Amino acid sequence: MGAKVIPVIGIRKRSSKKQRAIEILVRLKRLYPDATCSLNYASPVQLLVATILSAQCTDERVNQVTPALFNKFPDAASLANADLAELENLVRSTGFYRNKAKNIKSACQTIVSEFGSQVPKRMEDLLKLSGVARKTANVVLSHAYGINSGVTVDTHVQRLSQRLGLTEHSAPIRIERDLMSLLPQPDWENWSIRLIYHGRAICKARSPACEACELSDLCPSSVVTSD
């Protein structure tokens, strides 16, 4: 007989959403013990810029672009005074380069004029910067300053959180609130990083590898094959 696709029934049917979230977190830590931010940077402002560039672009591509960019403009002051056309040319291959260059220059001008050339450490201040929403602010606060103010929600985190049944929302801010209520605050950022790793390796957008997924018994969206 041919293989039949059946839903997995297991822990996910017997436990609360919060219990499942914690168990998923435990397994992600085991699966990706060394997971960390994959953007290359040497300072908070470089992380901020790299994260702005990563919008709708791979981290790999950003890491190819930033060495030349940071060699020419290593800090907030130099970026604030950069020639916009030169900045555009340096970040062109990341896509949407005009907007990104404009936002980077404007954000760094604000950092210089309002924050003493230092990237601020408060969410409300980061959100004043051009091109910075909660996703970018969460990355900067967590990885530059060790401050977990929220959960970073990118496309991987959004897709997997929905598939895992941890949120019914599609708006990033509402997904973030749901995840913050389910996870311990110290794990908010490493949850996102590890979920991103899992999204790249296993739970891909078009062809999730449910048969190879070590979260399948916790996932309402998972299917397995049975002879």
Q: Which residues are catalytic?
A: 135, 154
> Which is nearest to 54 in space by CA: 41, 43, 71?
41
- To the nearest 10°, report the CA torsion of 172, 92, 115, 59: 50
Question: % helix / strand / coil in the chain, to the nearest 5?
Answer: 60, 5, 35
Q: How far apart are CA 38 and CA 85, in angstroms?
A: 28
* Amino acid found at 74: P
How far is C-alpha 116 from the chain's CA centre?
A: 27
Q: Give CA angle at 141 (200, 36), nearest 5°.
A: 30
DSSP state of 56: T
> Which is nearest to 183 in space by CA: 213, 157, 163, 207?
157
Give the position of tokens 């990563």.
54
* Amino acid found at 187: D
Q: How far apart are CA 146 and CA 204, in angstroms?
A: 29
Q: How far apart are CA 78 and CA 171, in angstroms?
A: 35
